[in-house]
Amino acid sequence: METLLSHGWLAMLFAVWVALAVGSFLNVVIYRLPVMLQRQFIHDAKEALSLPGDSAARRFNLAFPDSRCPTCGHAIAAAENVPIFSWLWLRGRCSTCRTPISARYPMVEFITLVLSLIVLARFGFSPLGYAACLFTWILLAATLIDYDTMLLPDQLTLPLLWLGLITNLSLGYTPLDAAIIGAVAGYLLLWTTYWGFKLITGKEGMGYGDFKLLAALGAWLGWQMLPAILLIASVSALAWAIVQMLMKNMRREDPMPFGPYLAVAGWLALVAREPVERFMQF
């Protein structure tokens, strides 16, 4: 708490406001980025096959069109778009047609706030703290996109990788040589696992996005943290799968995303590096 208040209450309140605003933007990214990628894929496929495109298709990106109720088309006013508070004020329903609004939107905003404050409490209002917030926000978006779609977009994993190398070039969560080796080793570890599994079983065990995400985590945290990240991610993924199968929510052959577990493990390795290192020494 002392770290969060080291610059006074105004700085603390500004940090809260920024985190909530970022959480609101992440909701947009999580929903729209997969749709944008799908539309781009269809456009490219039609172009490659010399098929006519959809001239009536509306422009769709992170900024356009404005947010609207999917049921009645009501444009979301600024007063209805205040993170968390608007959802509570509207009692989780559209102000026009009263269609329920998913509680996931304020939950993402709240989680963004909590994780951001934890990071700032760990690293302070400093360049390292701000970089760690950016790391956290990208991981959160990637986690929920992968959970929803089984897709880890290059638009998130590759910038995360380069940002990790640039951060360690000037700031330093880990020495630059450890970051470079971490990026290479992170990719190759899962790449070799993927091909070994495919050669043995003839099946694909994971996606290329997982390779890139682990490479990004290696770029931020160094190669030394990769065994801990893989262990935490693998054990938590296995535990979740067992629980889901016992609850009859999942079958053994059903696919599940690995990215969210890598992201959680990587975030824990960032904010609790020393305890994680001590744990790995046992």
Counting residues of the chain whose pLDDT is more than 70, the rounded percentage is: 97
pLDDT at 80 over 90: no
DSSP β-bridge partners for residue 211: none
| pLDDT one-digit tens code per residue, 139-170 | 999 999 999 999 999 999 999 999 999 999 98
User: For residue range 24-38, what is the model confidence (pLDDT) as tens digits?
Assistant: 999 999 999 999 999
9 Cβ contact partners less than 8 Å away, ≥ 6 residues apart: none
pLDDT at 147: 95
Domain boundaries, the chain: 1-125, 145-282
Position 54 scores a pLDDT of 67
Mean pLDDT of 115-130: 94
The predicted structure's pLDDT at residue 282: 66
> pLDDT tens across 242-251, in order?
999 999 888 8
What rounded mean pLDDT belongs to the chain? 91
Task: Name the residue among 228, 215, 222 with its Cα closest to residue 178.
Answer: 222
Q: Which of 3-7, 86-90, 116-120, 237-241 has the lowest mean pLDDT?
A: 3-7
CB of 267 within 8 A of CB of 147? no
Q: For residue range 178-222, what is the model confidence (pLDDT) as tens digits?
A: 999 999 999 999 999 999 988 988 888 888 999 999 999 999 999
CA distances from 233 to 2, 8, 20, 263, 264 (A): 32, 37, 27, 8, 7
Residue 23: its pLDDT value, please? 97
Q: Report how far apart the first and last C-alpha atoms of the chain are (Å, whole number).
A: 31
Report CA torsion sign: 47, 49, 55, 56. Answer: negative
User: Rg of the chain over CA atoms, in angstroms?
Assistant: 21
Average pLDDT over residues 49-56: 72
User: What's the predicted TM-score (pTM) here?
Assistant: 0.94
